[in-house]
Structures are given as structure tokens and as C-alpha cells.
């Protein structure tokens, strides 16, 4: 079971191409800072803007650089079930520990269609699979009943819940009737409440720029120090908020550039954040005493 602060990794670019040197630096930095796991090629990794070849390479390189020091959950979702199967098969061949599959977007499948989609990937692959439920991006929302039904399959291991519905983890725990299921938050701002409702960790955007602080919050919670966890969470809140002033991952890529981790480059149709957003992000970073030095 994955726990603690996992990072929804950005995909750094330079001159229009994937910046492999930056990926290597970033992975080593996360290991040193205490991040519990890495999640490349999700929403924050701009997976919709990556070619198939780039997607495969980013997953392979992340696994290679992590070198077993921390687990890698590869983003392998697609609104094409065939493509999701192929991406997941590649992730397993590359050595990933698990796969994260976003809900089929745009197609607007029914609950039965959602079940059939994830069942097809499950039956065609051998990795532990995590359902990424994010209604705000995908329009569709998997019900608790459908998720509990999928959880009966041996390799459906958990969920990244970005519904921002505080009742979900409670409802799912009741529906699962004691069966093991790994519940991870996909919302930095509400993650502490999610943990209090039975969650196990967070796949975090903020961890791209404040990994040590995010890890410390989860460590305090795991140690039973709720007061310390709340204190750390509230310190992080201005940064959580700032990184979503504009569409993510624009603000977090700008923030990473301010730490010298990579450039702020982002692919169309997303654009580099406006100056006012940049100022908000920098102010939040300075409030956490992060080493804001400018882009590399």
C-alpha cells in the first residue's frame, strides 16, 4: 500500500523537447527530500500534450532514475481503452510499480462503460492499477458503487480521488466492507481532511516544489501528531492555492523554474502564467522560505 506524499511529476521541457537531464535531477532531488513515490505522465505531467514515444520515454527514464529507491506509479490512462492497455503494458515492461489510469474523458461512458474500461485494462496487464477519478477534468464521475465493484478485481489496488467530496473516502470504506483498498487524495488543499476520513496519502502537485514540507506533514499525521500535521498543512495552504490560480501545471512549472529545477516551458494550449500569477506563486514560495532564485 502506497502512503505519504507522492509527487505528480511535471514533465520539464527545453527548446520544445523533453528535458531528460532535468528529469534526472528532479528524481534524485525527490529521493533526497523524502517524497514517498513518483507519478510521471499524469495531468501534471502534461500527458495529453506528449507524443506516445515521449510518454514511454518519460516513464522509462523515471523508473531508471528512481532505481528502486522509491516506487513509481506511471500515468497510463487514456480515453481509448486500447491505448490505455498499451501504455500500461509498456509501464510494466519499463519496471513501474503501479499504473494510474485517468477516467475516460470526452467519451462520457456510463458506469457500465467505466467498469468495462478498467476491467479490460486489468485483464490485459499485470500491474497494480489505480483509478484516477477527477470529474473536473473528465466530466464523468465514477460512483462509489462502481469503484467498489472494480475493487473486487485483484489488481485494482486503489484510487486517486480528486472529486473534492469529503464524504467519498467514508462512503467507499463502508462499501468495501473491510477489503483493502489504497485511497490517495488528488487535492492538495483538502488532503488533511482526506487523511482524517481514512485516506492513506496524496498524489501531490505541491510536492513538485515543496517536497520536504509535504512529506513532513504526512509524517506528522502518520506519527499521530494531528496538531503538527495541521500546523504544517496550514503553512502549505497559500502555496496549494497559488499553484491553482491558473490551470495546472502552468503555475507549478513556473514555481519549479524559480527553484532552478527546470525551465517554465509548457506546451500549448496551456501557456506560461500571467505576471500577476507569477507574483502570487513567488510570494507563497517565499512564505515557506523556499530557495527562490529564478529559472535555470
Q: Is the pLDDT of residue 173 over 90?
A: yes
- pLDDT bracket for residue 190 (50, 70, 90): very high
Domain ranges in the chain are 4-225
Per-residue pLDDT tens digits for 23-41: 999 999 999 999 999 999 9
Q: Which residues contact 238 (CB under 8 A, 6 or more apart)?
A: 283, 284, 287
Phi first, then psi, for residue 189 (nearest 5°) are: -65, -30
User: Fold for domain 4-225?
Assistant: TIM Barrel (3.20.20)
Active-site positions read: 132, 160
Q: For position 291, what pLDDT does the model report?
A: 87
Q: For position 227, what pLDDT does the model report?
A: 98
Per-residue pLDDT tens digits for 200-257: 999 999 999 999 999 999 999 999 999 999 999 999 999 999 999 999 999 999 999 9
Cross-sheet strand order for the sheet of 73-75:
37-39, 4-8, 201-204, 182-185, 156-161, 129-133, 98-102, 73-75
Grid cell digits, residue 284: 507563497
Per-residue pLDDT tens digits for 99-154: 999 999 999 999 999 999 999 999 999 999 999 999 999 999 999 999 999 999 99
In the chain the first and final C-alpha atoms are separated, in Å, by: 36
Q: For position 91, what pLDDT does the model report?
A: 98
- pLDDT bracket for residue 166 (50, 70, 90): confident
- pLDDT bracket for residue 293 (50, 70, 90): confident
**pTM of this structure:** 0.96
φ/ψ bin of 42: left (φ > 0), alpha (ψ from -120 to 50), beta (otherwise): beta
Q: For position 295, what pLDDT does the model report?
A: 47
Q: Is the pLDDT of residue 294 over 70?
A: no
Grid cell digits, residue 252: 507549478
Whole-number average pLDDT of the chain: 96
Task: State the average pLDDT over residues 58-77.
Answer: 98
Question: Reduced to 3 states, what is the DSSP secondary structure of residue 5?
Answer: strand
Percent of the chain with pLDDT over 70: 99
Going from the C-alpha of 64 to that of each of 33, 57, 264, the distances in angstroms are 18, 10, 24
Amino acid at each position: 500500500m502506497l502512503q505519504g506524499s507522492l509527487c505528480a511529476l511535471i514533465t520539464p521541457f527545453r527548446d520544445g523537447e523533453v528535458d531528460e537531464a532535468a528529469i534526472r535531477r528532479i528524481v534524485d532531488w525527490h529521493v533526497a527530500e523524502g517524497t514517498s513515490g513518483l507519478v510521471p505522465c499524469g495531468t501534471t505531467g502534461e500527458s495529453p500534450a506528449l507524443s506516445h514515444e515521449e510518454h514511454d520515454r518519460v516513464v522509462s527514464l523515471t523508473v531508471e532514475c528512481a532505481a528502486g529507491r522509491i516506487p513509481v506509479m506511471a500515468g497510463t490512462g487514456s480515453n481509448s481503452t486500447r491505448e490505455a492497455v498499451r501504455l500500461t503494458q509498456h509501464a510494466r515492461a519499463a519496471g513501474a510499480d503501479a499504473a494510474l489510469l485517468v477516467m475516460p474523458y470526452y467519451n462520457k461512458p456510463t458506469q457500465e462503460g467505466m467498469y468495462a474500461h478498467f476491467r479490460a485494462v486489468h485483464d490485459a496487464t499485470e500491474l497494480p492499477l489505480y483509478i484516477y477519478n477527477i470529474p473536473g477534468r473528465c466530466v464523468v464521475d465514477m460512483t462509489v458503487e462502481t469503484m467498489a465493484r472494480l475493487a473486487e478485481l485483484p489488481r485494482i489496488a486503489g484510487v486517486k480521488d480528486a472529486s473534492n467530496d469529503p464524504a467519498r473516502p467514508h462512503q467507499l470504506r463502508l462499501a468495501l466492507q473491510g477489503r483493502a483498498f489504497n485511497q490517495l487524495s488528488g487535492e492538495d488543499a483538502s488532503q488533511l481532511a482526506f487523511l482524517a476520513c481514512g485516506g492513506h496519502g496524496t498524489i501531490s502537485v505541491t510536492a513538485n516544489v515543496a517536497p520536504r514540507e509535504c512529506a513532513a506533514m504526512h509524517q506528522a499525521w502518520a506519527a499521530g501528531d494531528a496538531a503538527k500535521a495541521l500546523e504544517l498543512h496550514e503553512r502549505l495552504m497559500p502555496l496549494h492555492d497559488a499553484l491553482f490560480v491558473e490551470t495546472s501545471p502552468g503555475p507549478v512549472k513556473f514555481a519549479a523554474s524559480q527553484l532552478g529545477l527546470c525551465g517554465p516551458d509548457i506546451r500549448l494550449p496551456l501557456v506560461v502564467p500571467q505576471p500577476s500569477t507569477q507574483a502570487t506563486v513567488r510570494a507563497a514560495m517565499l512564505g515557506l522560505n523556499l530557495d527562490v532564485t529564478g529559472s535555470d
